[in-house]
Structure 1
Amino acid sequence: MFDHDKRSAGAQRRRITKALGAAALTGLAAPFVNAQQKTLRFLNCEPGRDNVRAMKVAAAEYERATGVRVVVDTVPPDQVYDKLQASISAGTPYDISGLIFVAHVVLLAQANKLVPLTELMNRHKWGPRIRFPVKGQDYWYPYDYNFCWMYYRKDLFEQKGLKVPTSWDQVLDNAKALTDGQRFGISHPIGSNGAGQWMSIGYMWADGVKLLDDKFALLLETPAMRQKFAAYLDFMKKLSPSMPPGMSQALFATVIGQYSGNQAAMVPYAGRLMEVLEDRSPELAGKTGFFMYPDSAGKQVAVNHGYDGWVVVDTPMREESMKFMAWFTENQYINFLHSAPLHFQPPRMDVYDDRRWRAHPLIEKHGELVDFMRSILTRDDVVIRSVDTEGPAPDVRPGKMFESFGIMEALQNRLLKDMPAPEATELAVRKLKAALA
């Protein structure tokens, strides 16, 4: 496990709770106790060393400027919701917290435990599919995108005479051509975990697969969508001989290690991969290119959605919390982004033109990647989707589908058990319907 990958190996990145609904909200009904005067408690879910340092510097600067103390506690991202919920249940709630799953925001907002951030959000222009309002109000301030796209070895492409793939057939041809000895052409986790569901399904989004309609009914059970999904499963089956063994057990760090160790020539990830390469293999960073997941016909591309953000909890310190958020998002936000300069992709469009943000050495060096990341937000042919953000509005139901891992089980049935794609699709439909029920 890479020490600066924020996701723990055994945990799912996005997890609602062991029991959703009324049982999950039981603790939220506990009364708040009086917060200590002039002290804010901030629950940070970015445990990287530079991330923690950025938050503590901001806290110290705010106390120097205002006299209000900000206490920063840090937990891994997969533990943040449970920690926040426990603090509310105990009557000692955090005033501000990070959250990594829109379903958690929905649960807390519906329980009237969050303060609206709409006015603060309206100060800036935002990228697509990043505002998740609940009943017309924003309760979540997104601080980054975690899109997943594809990386490739430019030097190996040149040696083999390959072009950046724009269709599934080209991905297949390239992966086959790049599989040579101990090096494999491509890597995609296929386990029932967050890594697989973030890194391996972008192709189906590009090809027009949608899981839910505008009434949260399961679209996947319609004939047209079944056919599209089955075609995606068959594509992944053809791609599997070009993957390293053991991909059902692969996690986030597995893929980084395969690429940096010359074991895979094409891999999925976000900006974190380039940061790792710059830290450990700077020569390889210069040989690395990137592209989005293509569709079957070469007409459009996709990235798998990802996101992180902050919420303000409705405590007696809500006014002080809002003052801090207004100050932080204007005065320290860019410093925070610089703690993971390529991985924390800004969702605020103004940041891309801010010379303070662009002054970071890695952002200056990798201007091509930064322009690519920005193009995800501005191109008309880019599809941005994820299981947990499916449907017409933020809701816990897509989160339940995410936790069912029905998509990943279909991949396993097709790739590992050689189950026919229509049969694997049928089992996925049943699994997702059960989750929605």
Structure 2
Amino acid sequence: MKQNDENDILAQEAHLAQLPLPVGRRDVLKSVAAGIALMGIGVPPVLAQQKTLRFLNAEPGRDSVRALRVAAAEYEKKFGIKVVIDTVPPDDAYNKIQTAIAAGASYDIGTLAFAGHVLLLAEAGKLVPLTKLVNRHKWGPNILFPIKGETYWYPYDYNFCWMYYRKDLYQQKGLKVPTTWDQMADNCKALTEGGKFGVGHPVGSNAATQWMSIGYMWADGVRMLDKNFKLIIDNAEMKPKVIRYLDFMKRLSPSMPSGMTQALFGTVLGQYSGGQIAHAPYAGRLMEVIEDKAPDLVAKTGFFMYPDSAGKASAVNHGYDGWILLNTPMRDESLKFMEWFIDNHYINFLHSAPLHFQPPRLDVYDDIRWRAHPLIEKHADLVEFMKSILTRKDVIIRSIDTEGPIIDLRPPKMFETFAICEAIQNVLYKDMPSAEAVDIMSAKYRTVL
């Protein structure tokens, strides 16, 4: 992801990276109900004369918190406006924002990692449009999520998921970077030996699976919804593709460690940094982790996008994070702060997770200040790969929660069913025919559509 960027992202990952890390998608169904209730709440205003801005940050990494606090201190020194930074885990951010609004003590600025939450708040009249601020720059694809012609958030990063692999093991076995599912499965099989495994894909009913394990399906051209938000995953065109994907996952399963139904984000980081698996799905965070915890693997690690079945396309799973401005009596001051922060401290903030916070703004990739970070300089090949995801026309960027022609609450509801996860489990562990698994999955999606 996100985002950014999963319900419980990890004590494991935090332990690996020595800092609390962001998580991904939220408890959407509960949030939808709470958000609808929020729209009817009459909120007493905060005193307009107050000279304090309240900023709810959902990036709890210590370097990210430090970057925001340094910016806040400088702003107060320059302009006499105090900016209080409150930090919560990403999964708590939306509920914290709602609670504050309902109590009549709304935050002025907030962090969200789910476009559905932005939609709920915007439709409730709780957000300030950021269209003019956003329009100052050019952006990568599928990141602004406009609502009736206005943009209500400022995206600060992508959290795409792609594949990492052990270049040294490839060389030893004479393998090539896979461009088809057959090649991927063969490579994973060849690297499964001696207590080591070819790949780690979560397959439990959780957000990790939906971020880290379905990119192959997107690469093969699967779409879940049409332009009218009608479910098409089981129609004559899509169903054979989904069947092919589920069959492929079954073929991969012998090359995975045991216990992948319980695997979360940090599980895979630990498996890769510990040398247990030869392929790992992740975003830029993986490279940051091995730089810190397994530096011997840095030069041995390569990367590629999820391939399709025929070698014609490639994909990444979408993820993202962004800032919102709440419609409070301090909204003008909030906008002034955001304009100043973007001009003066945005790059400093990106540097707090230099490879994981992938810039969604295209101009940043050519900014010598951003490129001056040692890890960005060192991993110039990875940075160019990340940029190519945004600039190449043949790369597919999809996620369940962003399916459909515009941002809408129905895809997030689909996400929260974990129906695709259950389909994978039915095929891998219950030996269910893939066609039957697709039918069950589709019926479950229809219950929320």
Q: Same fold (TM over 0.5)?
A: yes
Task: Work out whether residues 35 and 121 of structure 2, in 8 Å CA contact, stay in contact via their aligned partners in 1.
Answer: no
Letter in 1 for 2:324: V
Structure 1 position 253 matched with structure 2 position 266: yes
Q: TM-score, normalised by structure 2?
A: 0.95
Corresponding position of 1:2: 13
Taking every aligned residue pair, what percent have the same amino acid on both sides?
66
**For 1:203 and 1:133, how far apart are their aligned partners in 2?**
28
Corresponding position of 2:305: 292
**For 1:435 and 1:295, how far apart are their aligned partners in 2?**
29
Match of 2:70 among 57, 64, 74: 57
Structure 1 position 324 matched with structure 2 position 337: yes
Matches within 5 A, 1:12-411: 13-18=25-30, 20-21=32-33, 23-28=34-39, 29-35=41-47, 37-411=50-424
Task: Work out whether residues 30 and 90 of structure 1, in 8 Å CA contact, stay in contact via their aligned partners in 2.
Answer: no
**For 1:208 and 1:71, how far apart are their aligned partners in 2?**
45
Task: Work out whether residues 43 and 74 of structure 1, in 8 Å CA contact, stay in contact via their aligned partners in 2.
Answer: yes
Letter in 1 for 2:225: L
Letter in 1 for 2:317: N
**For 2:187 and 2:302, how far apart are their aligned partners in 1?**
14
Give the total of aligned pairs. Answer: 432
**For 1:51 and 1:175, how far apart are their aligned partners in 2?**
36
**For 1:341 and 1:197, how far apart are their aligned partners in 2?**
24
**For 2:427 and 2:144, how far apart are their aligned partners in 1?**
35
SS at match of 2:280: strand
Query: How far is the alpha carbon of 1:14 from its aligned partner?
Result: 2.5
Letter in 1 for 2:300: K
SS at match of 1:275: helix
Moved more, 354-363 or 276-285: 276-285
Corresponding position of 2:9: none
Unmatched 5+ residue regions in structure 1? none
Task: Work out whether residues 233 and 421 of structure 1, in 8 Å CA contact, stay in contact via their aligned partners in 2.
Answer: yes
Letter in 2 for 1:6: L
Q: TM-score, normalised by structure 1?
A: 0.97
| Deviation per residue, 1:92-118 (Å, 9 max, x gap) | 000000001110001001111100000
Task: Work out whether residues 156 and 323 of structure 2, in 8 Å CA contact, stay in contact via their aligned partners in 1.
Answer: yes
Task: Work out whether residues 315 and 395 of structure 2, in 8 Å CA contact, stay in contact via their aligned partners in 1.
Answer: yes
Q: How big is the alpha-carbon RMSD for the aligned residues of Structure 1 and Structure 2? A: 1.1
**For 2:136 and 2:145, how far apart are their aligned partners in 1?**
16
Task: Work out whether residues 13 and 267 of structure 2, in 8 Å CA contact, stay in contact via their aligned partners in 1.
Answer: no
SS at match of 1:216: coil
Corresponding position of 2:7: none
**For 2:407 and 2:35, how far apart are their aligned partners in 1?**
17
| Deviation per residue, 1:324-351 (Å, 9 max, x gap) | 1111111100000000000000000000
Letter in 2 for 1:277: I
Query: How far is the alpha carbon of 1:7 from its aligned partner?
Result: 4.2
Unmatched 5+ residue regions in structure 2? 1-11
SS at match of 2:163: strand
Q: Any runs of at least 4 consecutive aligned residues in structure 1 with deviations exceeding 6 A, and if so which?
A: none
Query: How far is the alpha carbon of 1:19 from its aligned partner?
Result: 5.7
**For 1:5 and 1:261, how far apart are their aligned partners in 2?**
20
Task: Work out whether residues 35 and 98 of structure 2, in 8 Å CA contact, stay in contact via their aligned partners in 1.
Answer: no
